[in-house]
């Protein structure tokens, strides 16, 4: 019976649940799904991570490939990071094969903004030889299953993969100009201390706010907002594209919840990274 009700009147179905401060999947309004993070999942990549929300509901795997390249003319002493989010047709029934969708492009840009704003990669440290050679990090996130809140999953995967990334030491022969990987020296990590964590919220019926929406909830939501926080409580991304209007109080509520969430996830990723090293 409940199934039929859900199919026929999805909004009303949610409304009945939400008035009792609970969601159909048993979570409270501002509760996030459980997160599973594993780092170093792709052996051939320079750094990688896999993030799953809610027992495989949303799964994103991210690999970082480092490449030596000539620097961009306007920033000769800085390396660069090229994030790309891929949404293949296999991850959701609504997606079709073909060129990147608008959603994938928006997510790619959001990841680029997140990396750039937070300074989680020190672009200056990616420089090998100013004006000649820098590291280019290709950060490719592929969504394997899409059940809502891709922004959080992608951000977590991208940041965890970057924190897992190490680069080999490079020596340049001054006479011949040949580049050689110095395998004797230890690989150096690329990530800076900044650790951004994104948290998304959705608004339902113009007044109910809930965290970490599933795909169903995203379809019914009238607005979504993504907040990225850093350890010291400052914000590095606050993104709300259209949708019903929000008051400053509601936004503050999202920010506060995102801070708590950020601490939790940071603790988790650090624990995973530490256990890998043991």
Interface with another protein by CB under 8 A: which residues?
Answer: 102, 105-106, 108-110, 112-113, 116-119, 225, 230, 233-248, 251-252, 255-256, 259
Structure tokens at 278: 């043991």
Which residue's CB is nearer to another protein, number 58 or number 108?
A: 108
What would the two tokens of residue 56 be?
């495989």
Place of tokens 């993504």: 226
Structure tokens at 194: 């900044």
CB of 116 to another protein, least distance (A): 7
- Least Å distance, CB 192 to another protein, is 12
Cα 81 from chain centre: 14
Instruction: Judge contact between 227 and 254, C-beta under 8 A.
Output: yes
* Alpha carbons 44 and 259: distance in angstroms, whole number: 34
Least distance from another protein to the Cβ atom of residue 114, Å: 10
Smallest distance from the beta carbon of 101 to another protein, in angstroms? 10
Neighbours of 113 (CB within 10 A): 15
Q: Which is nearer to another protein, 55 or 233 (CB)?
A: 233
Residue 110: phi and psi, rounded to 5, are -65, -40
Closer Cβ to another protein, 99 or 184, answer by number: 99
Q: How far is the CB of 255 from another protein (least distance, A)?
A: 5
* Closest distance to another protein from the beta carbon of 259 (Å): 8
184: Cβ–Cβ under 8 A, 6 or more apart, which residues? Answer: none
* Of 242, 226, 213, residue with least CA distance to 149: 213
Residue 167 or 258: the one with the smaller Cβ distance to another protein is: 258
Nearer to another protein, 107 or 126 (CB): 107
What's the length of the chain?
Answer: 278
Q: State which residue, 91 or 104, has the beta carbon closest to another protein.
A: 104
Label each residue of 68-84 as H, E or C. EECCCCCCCCCCEEEEE
């Amino acid at each position: 019976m409940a199934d039929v009700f859900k199919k026929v009147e999805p909004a009303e179905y949610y409304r009945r649940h939400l008035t009792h401060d609970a969601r159909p999947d048993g979570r409270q309004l501002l509760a996030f799904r459980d997160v599973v993070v594993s780092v170093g999942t792709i052996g051939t990549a320079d750094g990688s991570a896999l993030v799953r929300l809610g027992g495989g509901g949303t799964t994103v795997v991210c690999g970082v490939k480092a490449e030596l390249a000539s620097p961009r003319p306007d920033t000769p002493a800085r390396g660069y990071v090229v994030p790309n989010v891929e949404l293949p047709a296999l991850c959701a029934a609504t997606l079709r094969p073909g060129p990147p969708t608008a959603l994938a492009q928006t997510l790619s840009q959001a990841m680029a903004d997140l990396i750039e704003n937070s300074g989680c990669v020190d672009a200056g440290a990616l420089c090998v030889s100013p004006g000649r050679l820098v590291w280019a990090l290709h950060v490719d996130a592929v969504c394997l299953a899409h059940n809502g809140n891709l922004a959080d999953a992608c951000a977590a995967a991208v940041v965890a993969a970057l924190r897992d990334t190490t680069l080999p030491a490079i020596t340049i022969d001054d006479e011949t100009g040949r580049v050689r990987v110095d395998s004797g020296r230890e690989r150096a990590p690329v990530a800076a201390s900044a650790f951004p964590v994104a948290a998304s919220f959705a608004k339902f019926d113009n007044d109910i706010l809930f965290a970490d929406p599933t795909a169903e909830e995203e379809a019914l939501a009238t607005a979504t907002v993504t907040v990225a926080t850093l350890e010291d409580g400052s914000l590095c991304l606050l993104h709300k594209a259209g949708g019903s209007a929000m008051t400053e109080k509601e936004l503050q509520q999202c920010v506060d919840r995102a801070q708590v969430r950020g601490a939790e996830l940071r603790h988790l990723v650090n624990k995973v990274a530490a256990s890998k090293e043991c």
